[in-house]
Amino acid sequence: MVDRRPLNSDPIAEARRQWEAHGWNDAADGMAAVTSLMRAHQIALSRVETVLKPLEITFARYEVLMLLHLSSRGSLPMGVIGSRLQVHQTSVTNAVDRLEAAHLVARQPHPTDRRTTLVEISARGRQVAERATQTLNAEVFTDPLLSSAPMRGVVETLRDMRQQAGDF
């Protein structure tokens, strides 16, 4: 164990020092940005999943549920769900399979286009969506760890990044 790094140092700051030591100065910021995103994502997801666990849903399913709950009709085609949430069609199929098994949503045929499957939220689905939102709001989203003023800047910068990437 010949680790000369100071204890309790930030692994990402350490990686940046390595990058700069190798002369990759142009890439150091980008490397730090990508790595930071990975870790922060993991932390945030973990906190959210912990809170949602008692309700027996995951964040992926919560997103689907809320999209339906807040939609004007309480139902959306599979494809639209994928577009809004920016996930692959097969991920939507997966999430809806599980939500349907839990009786939180139901697949319905589209009235005019038989290719399309409508996903409709159930009464129980709405209950779970509301309870989940209440808990998430209280225990995660209002936490200063994530709602501090600088975090608004993060949201703005990431919005630009997403837009550049063609996210919307």
Look at the alpha carbons of 52, 53, 55, 58 in this order and tell me if their dihedral is positive or negative. positive
How many angstroms separate the CA atoms of 167 and 152, rounded?
Answer: 19
Does position 113 interact with DNA (CB under 7 A)? The reply is: yes
Q: For 127, phi and psi rounded to 5 degrees?
A: -60, -50
Which residue is it, tokens 């945030």? 44
Q: Which does 88 bind (CB under 5 to 8 A by kind): DNA, a second copy, none?
A: DNA
- Binding DNA (rule: CB under 7 A), the pick from 35, 75, 117, 133 is 117
Q: Which does 102 bind (CB under 5 to 8 A by kind): DNA, a second copy, none?
A: none
* Per-residue contact flags (x/-) with DNA for residues 136 to 155, judged by CB under 7 A: --------------------
Q: What are residue 109's DSSP bridge partners?
A: 117
Which residue is it, tokens 């939220």? 121
Q: Which does 160 bind (CB under 5 to 8 A by kind): a second copy, DNA, none?
A: a second copy
Considering only residues 27 to 66 of the shown chain, the ones binding DNA according to CB under 7 A are 42, 46, 58, 60-61
Which residue is it, tokens 């209002």? 142
Residue 106, SS3 per DSSP: strand
Q: Which amino acid is at 25?
A: N
The size of the interface with DNA (CB under 7 A), counted in residues, is 31
Which residues make up the interface to DNA (CB under 7 A)? 42, 46, 58, 60-61, 77-79, 82, 86-98, 107, 110, 112-118
